[in-house]
Amino acid sequence: MIISVTPNTAIDYSLRVSEFSLGRTIRALESAWGMGGKAADASWILGHWGVKNLALGFAAGPNGQRMEAMLRERGCQTDFVWVNGETRLNTVICSGGKHSTFTSSTIEVAPEHVGSFYGKYKLALEKATCLVVGGTLPRGVSSTFFAEVIRLARERDIPVIFDSSGPHLRMGLEARPTVIKPNLTELVDLSGEGLNRTDSGKSIIDRKQTIYTLARQVQSQYGVSLVITLGSEGAMSLFGDTHYWIPSLAVDVVSAAGAGDAVLAGLAVAYAQHLPIEDGLRLGFALAASVLRTLATADYHPEDARGFLPLIELESLSTELFTAQKKKTFPKREVGLDL
């Protein structure tokens, strides 16, 4: 059973507009409801793919009830701890393939709620085959929460896929999760090295080699595998000595919200079903490409994902390969997976 842990649950209300500016009434072209918390997003995606999973975490109020109902409609099992306040309602504004999210912290967790969560979590771990955990922490939850959740799973040899940022990511890494999924900014922060994403003076090969070097530093320092999402440039994965470049697909992007969480879902399937990690990467990025085509956060059409699956390429990476390809050019892709 795949388990997801989302301490700061949310639902997203997405609006597609022709343009956005403050100080005037804007009429949306389209609206949609979607899931909003990283790990819960992965559960919602897995349920739509027909994969059984259990969603845990903290939820509150009518928004929490709606969030839970959405998960159950997709075939997910749920066992949330109900707390004070209200599960977040995020507003996502989408225009021209880009999006901005308006959010706030509205859940309030008491010590007894945390204790109740760990009781449920330890029972769930008895049947767990993979854990997906991440996002942010609500008020009342200790900064050590992610590390403790990860530690309990790793003590039982359960693979852990962890996706967070900033101090939460660093704290969780101390417990040695199996995989993390940083974007470029998060990778640079973890490595402590500088990299200018807009440096037009570097070729794509030079940039890829620099990113690869940073990723290997993080891999060595923390003993984790990585999937680094790089927007329209593509993605990079490091699993042990097996390293891949994953070119982006040409997709008409409606909204990228939740696409990165689809990658988490694909990896979880591979770990839970003891499949090659290559299968998890292909599934994850096929699901991500299909998420890009819908307005609702983390929503997708399974037939789209099945169509993208054979198109996902995994190009082997090594320092020697970069040197050999220094003078080669890679085909330009119109739109990438902005995760």
pLDDT above 90 for 53: yes
Instruction: State mean pLDDT over 253-264.
Output: 94
Residue ranges in the chain assigned as alpha helix (H): 38-48, 61-73, 111-125, 145-154, 166-173, 184-191, 204-222, 259-272, 277-291, 302-308, 319-324
Q: What local confidence, expressed as pLDDT, does residue 94 receive? A: 87
Does the pLDDT value for residue 289 go beyond 80?
Answer: yes
Amino acid at 72: R
* Rounded Cα–Cα distance for residues 237 and 226 (Å): 5
Closest by CA to 265, choosing from 39, 80, 11, 70, is 39
C-alpha 51, offset from chain centre: 17
Closest to 163 in 3D by CA, of 4, 33, 10, 327: 4
User: What pLDDT is attached to residue 194?
Assistant: 61
Nearest to 281, CA basis, from 255, 223, 328, 242: 242
pLDDT of the residue at 338: 36
Answer whether residue 133 shows pLDDT above 80. Answer: yes
Is the pLDDT higher at 192 or at 299? 299
Checking if the pLDDT of 29 tops 90, the result is no
Q: Are 237 and 191 in contact (CB under 8 A)?
A: no
Residue identified by tokens 């909003």 is: 36
Average pLDDT over residues 100-119: 94
Provide the residue type at 178 as one letter: T
Confidence at residue 334, expressed as pLDDT on a 0 to 100 scale: 36
Residue-wise pLDDT tens digits, 64-106: 999 999 999 999 999 999 999 999 999 999 888 788 888 888 9
Q: Is 32 helix (H, G, I), strand (E, B) or coil?
A: strand
Residue-level pLDDT at 160: 98
Report all structural domains of the chain as residue ranges with CATH numbers, in order of start. Answer: 2-324 (3.40.1190.20)
| pLDDT class of 326 with cuts at 50, 70, 90 | very low
Of 51-55, 72-76, 329-333, the range with the lowest mean pLDDT is 329-333
Average pLDDT, the chain: 90
What was the pLDDT predicted at 195?
61
Q: What is the chain's length? A: 339
Per-residue pLDDT of 189-207, as tens digits, reads 998 766 654 454 566 677 8
98: helix, coil or strand?
strand
